[in-house]
A and B are shown apart, each in its own frame.
Chain A
């Protein structure tokens, strides 16, 4: 029951035959299994690729194969922390005693609404703070970028006990405040408006699942406060051409009730851009690449229907023009059903019907 929301009987609309999700992970739970609810994870909006900036929250989440059912809204808060004391200038890995450890804290509000059972709308807005433990550079803070995604479960096929689903996603992100992108690594983001397209394939067999995705991120020019800058050549403009990016992820794990656990490998490539030269300052259009490994988990609180906790940890194994970040996140999410009556009566009962 949802004690916090008097008007909603937390009989959340759940029970989609195969997946309910809040967020990004698609939980294609086996059809015979009780449904899961709210799965938002850190990847949602916080694919913490802690770039050299410390904290680029690449809003390319939703690499997870879980859908929120129609008229259900899952929302929550996520806290993220990342830090690094080594980074790559091009391919040269170094530390910097004038930065010490660069750390980023983020606090994000996120949500996922089921427009239909096969089409979800997701959003996220983080507030970010950066800090360097040594040297004199001033930390930055502020509301970063709004991210929104449309996620479409385009096709699904079952072969005996094997489920295969195809998802198509479109993403958009844009800065919500006038923060400076040209003060890396302290800047809270890169201030580019982006458009993303993602193809995602999910396989499930029993509780076991594997999800792969590929994303293309188109990035608009940004405007900086300077009127000229050097990349590999001098540019006399306050506009910066941001190279597009590609990202790939592979995740695998086990989905069961009330716990979901997975391991993830992601790879981010900047399609263009240039290397930071030795002892130069970083720049928003650097070639920022990273390969990250991580684990994520989600746990549903049995006593409060619709409430779940998420957590994850990531580490940059290899990179270029980024910080070698270790990052953690914790989130709490809750599902609200706006039209509980519309639930399909023929759906399989969710776990909480047993309560």
Chain B
């Protein structure tokens, strides 16, 4: 009898154990269908570019005729691949067929997360600064913090957009059909469209992105180059482009990138770290105004994050407009309002509700993450997937979003270091936080500025989601109060400033020719 009890009890236990097992983590874009654009945007070659003066600034020679020996040989290359595709090659084809702009944006987010690590201190309590000249030494270059990331996303997106506009210009000009149209024995493993294949948009994306990355993530050139080759090969294997489509596209992409790299080298980002003299100057200026200056709450004290990033040249407006967009001063550190706002945060954080912790964690986007701009890119990408945009429209919409986010970073940083005001915990050390305290002044909230800008431009691009974006922006903004790291003024004004910046992107979008 005892034995039976043993067996029954142990048996049921094992059964319950088995029934409850759960291991099945999948990325939400792991198994997307091939991108099948609702509109191939054949006239995108006329859309307004960001930096290129003309879509044909860089010449692309006319392709060989489809009845030429050279072209037939290229078709044979495709057929050769298609005869013996491995499972892994099929998987690579499916991966890239979901959309090149999407995949490169995901790869960018991954690199930002990988490089978003603040340097560890030296033995003497100072901090090493990552060096673009010596990127493999610790601390690795770059430290992909929010301003750095915002700028990187913007340059990549804007360069991809200009390169694709040029690409579409030549596609229409030369009008060479895709291999699956010219030869019915070529199998199309992606979506079939009427879009001409010369030059290949996939190769344009591979070329322009790989070239930009040399500047932005120099230690990842080998990784990026492997991805670029993988995308190009997958496109050939998919029957979507021939070798000459690819070669012409990659060359065009790399040339367009040079225009953006030249701008990036002179946009003042290289000087954003500042010098010890700059850092102490900020403190002196705030003190002279009678305000309590910000100081780092890290131990040992860390120099502020990119204090001169506010001087970087924006994409959507000129430098003078940055000052014009800067909001009026926050409540004085000695004012009753500041005291009251500090107390409000203290109360919020004293016994945080689980829902508030969720909101803080959801939007934290701190160390080791793709940062708030990356988070908004992820939100946008999820919606763009459902919109079935063409590659060039994907690039245009991502460029609008990321230029807004970079310019939001510029205006926000400009404001933070203009006023240099302290975090709530500096005003009241009893304020413990539900996420790390960012190492820069409070006013205005970066999350709020980013989110205001993103919600505005995304609401224009995907109008049916406009209310949802606004609600998300408000939650992102509130998360910084709930986390104990921002006052209400930082968040409310930040949202407003962000919205103003997003409106510049909307004005651009209405006039770039894509929505006609």
Residues of A within 8 A of B (CB): 97-98, 115-116, 118-119, 134-139, 150, 152, 168, 170, 172, 178-180, 182-183, 193, 195, 218, 220-221, 224-230, 233-237, 239-242, 277-281
Q: Contacts A239-B25, A278-B117 known; A227 to B362 CB distance under 8 Å?
A: yes
Contacts of B299 in A (CB 8 A): 97-98, 134-135
Q: Flag if A138 contacts B433 (CB, 8 Å).
A: yes
Contacts of B16 in A (CB 8 A): 172
The 8 Å CB contact of A237, one of B14, B22, B23, B28, is B28
B106-114, B175-183, B200-208 - interface stretch: B106-114
B425 within 8 A of A: yes
Contacts of A227 in B (CB 8 A): 362, 378
Q: Flag if B378 contacts A279 (CB, 8 Å).
A: no
Q: Flag if A136 contacts B364 (CB, 8 Å).
A: no
Contact-residue size bin, chain B (C-beta under 8 Å from the other chain): 35 or more
B138 within 8 A of A: yes
Minimum CB–CB distance for B8 against chain A, Å? 10
The 8 Å CB contact of B434, one of A118, A183, A242, A277, is A183
B129-137, B226-234, B366-374, B463-471 - interface stretch: B366-374
Q: Flag if A178 contacts B117 (CB, 8 Å).
A: no
Q: Flag if B2 contacts A170 (CB, 8 Å).
A: no
Contacts of A195 in B (CB 8 A): 17, 20-21
Contacts of A134 in B (CB 8 A): 299
The 8 Å CB contact of B432, one of A137, A178, A218, A225, is A137
Docked pose: A180 CA to B110 CA in angstroms: 24
Q: Flag if B106 contacts A236 (CB, 8 Å).
A: yes
Minimum CB–CB distance for A41 against chain B, Å? 23
Chain A's interface: helix, strand, loop or mixed, by majority? loop
Contacts of B5 in A (CB 8 A): 115-116, 119
- Residue of A whose beta carbon sits closest to that of B22: A220
B349 within 8 A of A: yes
Query: What are 29 A-B contacts with C-beta separation under 8 Å?
Result: A98-B298, A116-B6, A118-B6, A119-B6, A134-B299, A136-B297, A138-B349, A139-B432, A150-B9, A150-B13, A170-B10, A172-B16, A220-B22, A225-B362, A226-B361, A226-B362, A228-B369, A230-B368, A230-B370, A234-B106, A234-B110, A234-B114, A236-B28, A236-B378, A237-B26, A239-B26, A241-B25, A277-B368, A279-B120
Nearest 4 A/B pairs, CB to CB: A234-B110, A225-B361, A230-B113, A97-B299
B423-442 CB mask vs A (1 if < 8 Å, else 0) is 00100000111101100000
Q: Flag if A225 contacts B431 (CB, 8 Å).
A: no
B351-363 CB mask vs A (1 if < 8 Å, else 0) is 0101001100110
Docked pose: A228 CA to B378 CA in angstroms: 9
Q: Flag if A230 contacts B21 (CB, 8 Å).
A: no
Contacts of A170 in B (CB 8 A): 10, 13-14, 17
Docked pose: A279 CA to B5 CA in angstroms: 53
Q: Flag if A138 contacts B22 (CB, 8 Å).
A: no
The 8 Å CB contact of B2, one of A118, A139, A230, is A118
Q: Flag if A152 contacts B2 (CB, 8 Å).
A: no
Minimum CB–CB distance for A194 against chain B, Å? 10
Contacts of A237 in B (CB 8 A): 25-28
Docked pose: A119 CA to B7 CA in angstroms: 10
- Residue of A whose beta carbon sits closest to that of B108: A234
Contacts of B24 in A (CB 8 A): 221, 239
Minimum CB–CB distance for B441 against chain A, Å? 16
Docked pose: A150 CA to B298 CA in angstroms: 48
Between B14, B16, B113, the greatest number of chain A beta carbons within 10 A of the residue's beta carbon is seen for B113
Q: Flag if A150 contacts B10 (CB, 8 Å).
A: yes
Contacts of A136 in B (CB 8 A): 297, 425, 431-433, 437, 484
Q: Flag if A225 contacts B21 (CB, 8 Å).
A: no
B80 within 8 A of A: no
Docked pose: A180 CA to B109 CA in angstroms: 24
Docked pose: A226 CA to B370 CA in angstroms: 12
B191 within 8 A of A: no
B29 within 8 A of A: yes
